[in-house]
Structure 1
């Protein structure tokens, strides 16, 4: 959740730092404990959460939770909930424009990281990692970041999928590649022509 605005209340949820979910409760409990204790994952998470809280803090009085683990069907993340009350009326789109891009999608410091990414990535991200959401007539709404997404080709015959990982000091390239592959799984499964029981 990049930002959600309802009246004067604003909230966000920073996710960074990941581990696989297997479906085996005992194994996943051990993995969650390791994720919560991981220095590398906490460093990655702090960059993301701090960037959101600081940018949101220019528009609102904010408070945030301690990092905690949330489990999704295929992956778990460190999460920090950030919320507050806007100093002045603002639409969800305007707030999203201030908060995006966060360190989770661009790095930090933002301007330098954006230049380095443009040079090193070698492709135009297009819609990848952009805000996606809705806005009502009152300006309330919710925007998420399109971190795991796809784009249908112009001829409608293929889909290009996007996912990525946060690279920080201590990142292991093979682990980051495996994490990115896990992030693709729900999209692969949703698009697969194979029937599942």
Structure 2
């Protein structure tokens, strides 16, 4: 007799899309909080572009996506260096990956199964990381860090990583965020990055940044 639960959000990260033989992915990994001050905001962007730690974090994701697409695609194009991608609250490192299906009948669902979960939400090597997540994380993720999207009868579709999301049930909202941990990560900075990622949803819910916790009622 509990009210229905809903997954709500606005994910900035395209896991995979397929339109005919054209395949596209836009992974985001490596992040920095934006500032209302233009000077500080520009400095945060430049620091992210120059961060070896964040470039390593991003590289793991891009390499995994290219490797997963290789059996299904040809002419895979992934720039050597990421670009800045911005949302209202965050800067991200992003790489636009384009590819062409070898077999035009391969549906987007097949590509989705090959790609998910990427190191951005799971880690690498995948099997070892998934084992550690299941053993160490104190709360189940539910749909968080999964994938949401659509596929039509022709096999075309778009799927996004379920981040920047919340589980809403009645008057209760559980908000999720996380950060990638790699060599060079510092705990206090990763905590601050995770808190910053709550901003978009908390603002939509009318909750101040001071309440950036995992569970918000």
Give aligned pairs, total.
192
Q: Which runs of 5+ in 1 are unaligned?
A: none
User: What's the counterpart of residue 85 of structure 2?
Assistant: 70
> What is the CA–CA distance in structure 1 between the aligned matches of 2:140 and 2:43, rounded to whole Å?
39
User: What's the counterpart of residue 100 of structure 2?
Assistant: 85
Of residues 20, 26, 35 in structure 1, which corresponds to 2:33?
20
User: What's the counterpart of residue 163 of structure 1?
Assistant: 177
- Greater shift in the superposed pair: 95-104 or 184-193: 184-193
Query: TM-score by structure 1 length?
Result: 0.93
State whether structure 2 residue 109 is matched by structure 1 residue 117: no
Of residues 1, 5, 23 in structure 2, which corresponds to 1:10?
23
Q: Deviating runs (4+, > 3 A) in structure 1?
A: none
State the 1:193 CA deviation. 7.2
State the 1:123 CA deviation. 2.4
User: Which structure has more RCO (C-alpha within 8 Å, separation ≥ 6)?
Assistant: 2
> What is the CA–CA distance in structure 2 between the aligned matches of 1:114 and 1:57, rounded to whole Å?
23
> What is the CA–CA distance in structure 2 between the aligned matches of 1:139 and 1:83, rounded to whole Å?
17
> What is the CA–CA distance in structure 2 between the aligned matches of 1:90 and 1:73, rounded to whole Å?
36
Note the 1:1-197 alignment, pairs <5 A.
Answer: 1-61=14-74, 62-65=76-79, 66-88=81-103, 89-153=105-169, 156-192=170-206
RMSD over aligned Cα atoms: 1.4
**Residues 1:107 and 1:5: Cα distance change in structure 2 (over 3 Å):** same
